[in-house]
Structure 1
Amino acid sequence: MNPSTALARVLVDELARCGLAEAVVAPGSRSTPLALALAAHPDVRLHVRIDERSAAFLALGLARAQRSPAALVCTSGTAAANFHPAVLEADESGVPLLVLTADRPPELRGTGANQTVDQIGLFGSAVRMFTEVGAPAPVPGMAAYWRSLACRAWAAAGADRPGPVHLNLAFRDPLVPDVEAAPGAPASADRAAHALKSDSEWPETLEGRASGRPWIAQQTRPCEPVPVELPAVERGVVVCGDGDYDPIPYLALAAQTGWPLLAEPTSNARRGEAVSAYRHLLASPRFAAEHDPELVVSVGRPGLSRQLLAYLARAERHVVVGAPRCFADPVRSATDVVPAVAAPSGGAPDTAWAASWQAAERLARAAIDKVLDAEEALSEVRLARDLAAHAPNGSLLFAGSSMPIRDLDAAMGARCGGRIIGNRGVSGIDGTVSTAVGAALAHQQAGGGGAYALLGDLAMLHDQNGLVLGPGEPRPDLAAVVVNNDGGGIFSGLEQAGHPGFERLFGTPHGVSMERVAQMADLPYTRLEWASDLPKALLGEGLRVVEVCTGRADSAALRRTLQQAVDAALED
């Protein structure tokens, strides 16, 4: 067995022993040993994508939904650079990734050799661990090095602070196995295992530990944090920002104290008595002025709306639940950082403060729904509200950045039974289609139901390669619902809207129908106009595109109308 094949097979075998179940490969020559080893392993489901950026976000979606590291493989050169946006998102949002970049061996670097760039520390501080693995050679100690490294990488990616890990692997020629299997040989997976056991060219065995156990058995004992009892105040607020954490303790805290729970959609805490209209309430000057908090308890990463950020800054005391070295405090208002919280003893939920929030929620919710229900034609905000409501229990909803996630935040009612995710780490427009595909694949592999994505037109165009799945590739049951307002709708509600040259610089009209995008990928397409047709449009199997066409100016005006309706309802 040649050294490149040996390194790849041993590394993949050890990662699979650690628990690797999903891997994404962007094809290339230098990464051939890794691609062949992953394709041959019986415990790893392999996905192949022609676009490295789409491949990286596909792996991100797989890892985010399954809450376990996914492997990501590419060849040398600019291929690895195309992974960078997804690595940044994984870093900021705490998603475990194993980034395996193939490289030229050291003797070819800095010589002008083709497709060679400096890949050492390519992703900088965005990774939890980086290792230049070194060119493999048939010398004693290699198997133990590779297997222990795989275990360390796996642990670093999924440790207390999950995130990406980067292994840079130098492969020398030959890049393919020395001898092809003879007729009648075992299947590819069996051949790979057989090769590790029978190879006689190495000075030591390449096999792993007996009984399929990892080289390093890492016992993780869940350490329950000691809750800190909160002060007994009446005017408290619980804020749940983006993040993959258990929302139940914070729902319980709100129920025990009567403090309103303000939950962003991707916190998955907008359930029960959560205040679904908090965005509009905090944007109402009179309400906000009359509801200054004594105490705010926040968890996750709040920051979806300016109103909520401004509210955090006004708290007399702001208790952040998080790790001392890694906690979210976007407006630097934190006064305490604690690992967990406990409700104050002797607190009573039936307070005037609680009643005022509950009354405001009822008024605002009724005002929002009345405006949205006045027109049967689908608006962007109504689409977000209705999609969240119609998604069946057990389903997954991926929310794109910019307006889709904000419309969900503004209009979605409280509900249980579904999971909402999005790329909120750096909130980029890139890779949203691929992330949604990966998340849907992992969600359904684990036995979950259907999946939906709410995306903007620019996000779809930016990552339309994410729709391209080759023959034989695993295909998700995913309805990609695209709001097409012919440009960048978020800017129509910002200060840039009044600038000369706005349409070209910020509106960025493109004139592309999503039907043409669906045709490019040979996918089913539906154009949706009426709200009553939404449930029917969501039916179907496989990957499909649903388009809703809107106007940017009309949507911006509707959002202003919603706020005016809430303000008026609160004045009555």
Structure 2
Amino acid sequence: MNPSTAQATVIVDELVRTGVTDAVLCPGSRNAPLAFALHAADAAGRLRLHMRIDERAGGFLALGLALRSGRPVPVCTTSGTAVANLHPAVLEAAHAHVPLIALTADRPPQLIGAGASQTITQPGIFGSAVRLAATTAVATRATGEQAHWRSVVDRVVAAATGAVGGPPGPVHLNAPFAEPLVPDGTAGWPEALEGRPDGGPWTAAVPGRRSAPALPLDPGAATLVIAGHGAPPGLDLGGAPLIAEPSSGYWADGLRAGPWLLGAPAAAPLRPAQVVVLGRPTLHRPVQRLLADPAVAVYAVDDPAGAPWTDVAATVRATGSLPALRPPREWIGRWHAADAAAAAALDTALDGAAAPGGPRLARALLASLPGGSVLVLGSSNPIRDVALAAVPRAGVRLLSNRGVAGIDGVVSTAVGVALAGPGRAYALLGDLTLLHDTTGLVIGPGEPRPDLTLIVLNDRGGGIFSLLEQGAPEHAGAFERVFGTPHAVDLAALCAATGVAHTDLADLADLPAAVAPGPGLRMVEVRADRAALRPGHAALRAAVDAAVGRVVAAAA
């Protein structure tokens, strides 16, 4: 057996022994040893292999698989720019604490800087974004090499899963291979290429959990809890009012109109004495303004896995574990009364003809999804539409790329999420997010195919910018071209080209039938008018503010 084949065989075997069940592979020449080894492991039923032609899409596919399963997932590429195309997924995994393994083939060191084709300096290419970066030595035929190969695999997997301190995250395993790069049909090697006889990893590493002292807050004070992406699960909040972002894991228990209430002019009686922050809230400006208020005591719950606390405004007074909260009943009742009034006003406004399409779609979709499904939310308006308009419910798991909150790779992430578990998966995204990852729709005829429905709100451009400062009327002269970024892509034709079933949904009343469980990859296109977005949101804001004002006046 030639050295490159032996090394790749051992690397893949050890990955399987550490718990890897899925791997993504992008074609190339220098990573041929790993390609043959991964294919053999797939044929033997030891892991499931996913082939993709685009490394960026492959990286996000692996991210989605790891995001839902919690298991480390390697994405294997050849050398050169193929490695650089993994960087967006690596960055998302770093900030979202997802165990992604960038498994990259490389040229031998003597070829670096010598003008060899497809050659760059790969060690350190991801900088501080990875938890660990390791490069194996070029295989020879020395006795004992196998132990070193297995040991380095175990180290990078341990770093990816948080077993060496700190939260889970991406790692980089770079493997230089010398020619020949293909199996030569022989099996001889100085030692048996076998791992531990019990099938376990060479070095077993167990993820640790840390504990922290209780936060020095007043358990009986008027407390508001804010839950963002990556919030530690399973905490007892003692009935305190909760504003939870959809991907926080607490959304089903949160207030329906919480983000609206914080921005209401008449909401002074709802001002908390202290705020407890779980995870990393990023969606709502009223939340950020509250956290920046020096008159409010802000505390951050420590992450047991060691993720850093969020403190954009530098107002956090302490971090620690959450003590038992017992906020005043009158305080809890005040928030729930305001929430009920705001939610009723919101629904009335959403039923009106002038309501923006995104919030209406989000409300209808969450009400239509079958129990036990998983929904991936796009990073721009879709996740905000769900947060602002949908009725929180249990039985649907909500996921999103909120680590860096980019729109790239969302289709591939959703495909990975769908492939990582049983049941129907869904994704709510905008048209630009879809177009940014059209290669995510390209799945080979022999590859595992997801049961995934993509619900695409098509307003032919960048809708979120209509709601920001640049969408104000005084910027109309420049807005449409440089922020609205209009396009004329026919999504039905795109689906036809990639073999994706397409439904053009004209009436939200037909949405339950369109998202009914079924096999395969499908797209439901919902058209909307981007020009109505800014005034539509202003109308929703006015309706909620008026309702909150009436509740506050009645309680005074």
Is TM > 0.5 for Structure 1 vs Structure 2? yes
Partner of 1:190: none
Cα separation, 2, equivalents of 1:513 and 1:157: 40
| Partner deviation per Cα, 1:393-424 (whole Å, 9 max, x = no partner) | 11000000111111111112121111001000
* Counterparts in 2 of 1:167 and 1:457: CA distance versus 1, 3 Å: same
SS in 1 for 2:198: helix
Equivalent residue in structure 2 for 1:200, among 179, 188, 191: 188
Equivalent residue in structure 1 for 2:364, among 383, 386, 408: 386
Partner of 2:553: none
Mapping of residues 430-509 of structure 1, within 5 Å:
430-444=408-422, 449-497=423-471, 498-499=474-475, 500-509=477-486
Cα separation, 2, equivalents of 1:94 and 1:220: 13
Mapping of residues 239-254 of structure 1, within 5 Å:
239-243=226-230, 245-246=232-233, 248-249=234-235, 252-254=236-238
**Matched letter for residue 423 of structure 1:** N
Task: Report the TM-score when normalising by structure 1.
Answer: 0.91
Q: Kindly indicate whether residue 131 of structure 2 is the aligned counterpart of residue 128 of structure 1.
A: yes
Partner of 2:280: 301
Q: Kindly indicate whether residue 492 of structure 2 is the aligned counterpart of residue 515 of structure 1.
A: yes
Partner of 2:248: 267
Mapping of residues 312-323 of structure 1, within 5 Å:
312-314=291-293, 316-323=296-303
SS in 2 for 1:452: strand
SS in 2 for 1:271: helix
Q: CA deviation at 1:245?
A: 3.5
SS in 1 for 2:220: coil
**Matched letter for residue 482 of structure 1:** V
Equivalent residue in structure 1 for 2:342, among 351, 364, 372: 364
Equivalent residue in structure 2 for 1:549, among 493, 512, 527: 527
**Matched letter for residue 443 of structure 2:** L
- Contact 1:381/1:408 (8 A) holds in 2: yes
Equivalent residue in structure 1 for 2:179, among 173, 182, 206: 173
| Partner deviation per Cα, 1:197-244 (whole Å, 9 max, x = no partner) | xx4332x22211112121112245655655447413331111110126
Cα separation, 2, equivalents of 1:547 and 1:5: 47
SS in 2 for 1:285: coil
Q: Kindly indicate whether residue 10 of structure 2 is the aligned counterpart of residue 15 of structure 1.
A: no
Partner of 1:158: 161
| Partner deviation per Cα, 1:52-105 (whole Å, 9 max, x = no partner) | 100000000000000111011000010000000000000011000111111111
Mapping of residues 31-430 of structure 1, within 5 Å:
31-41=31-41, 42-159=45-162, 160-179=166-185, 199-202=187-190, 204-220=191-207, 227-228=214-215, 230-243=217-230, 245-246=232-233, 248-249=234-235, 252-255=236-239, 259-272=240-253, 274-287=254-267, 289-314=268-293, 316-323=296-303, 326-338=308-320, 340-344=321-325, 347=326, 349-351=328-330, 353-375=331-353, 379-430=357-408
- Contact 1:254/1:261 (8 A) holds in 2: no
SS in 2 for 1:80: helix
Cα separation, 2, equivalents of 1:508 and 1:221: 47
Cα separation, 1, equivalents of 2:541 and 2:287: 15
Cα separation, 2, equivalents of 1:210 and 1:302: 46
- Contact 2:238/2:327 (8 A) holds in 1: no
**Matched letter for residue 532 of structure 1:** A
Cα separation, 1, equivalents of 2:539 and 2:421: 37
Cα separation, 2, equivalents of 1:234 and 1:217: 46
Q: CA deviation at 1:459?
A: 0.5
| Partner deviation per Cα, 1:104-157 (whole Å, 9 max, x = no partner) | 111211111111111120000000000121211111221000011111111100
Percent identity between matched residues is 48
Cα separation, 1, equivalents of 2:117 and 2:465: 42
* Counterparts in 2 of 1:541 and 1:244: CA distance versus 1, 3 Å: farther
Q: CA deviation at 1:361?
A: 0.3
Structure 2 unmatched runs, 5+: 551-556
Aligned residues: 537
Partner of 1:187: none
**Matched letter for residue 478 of structure 1:** L
Cα separation, 2, equivalents of 1:538 and 1:122: 42
User: What is the root-mean-square deviation of aligned Cα atoms in Å?
Assistant: 1.7
Q: CA deviation at 1:375?
A: 4.2
Q: CA deviation at 1:291?
A: 2.7
Q: CA deviation at 1:379?
A: 1.7
**Matched letter for residue 205 of structure 2:** Q
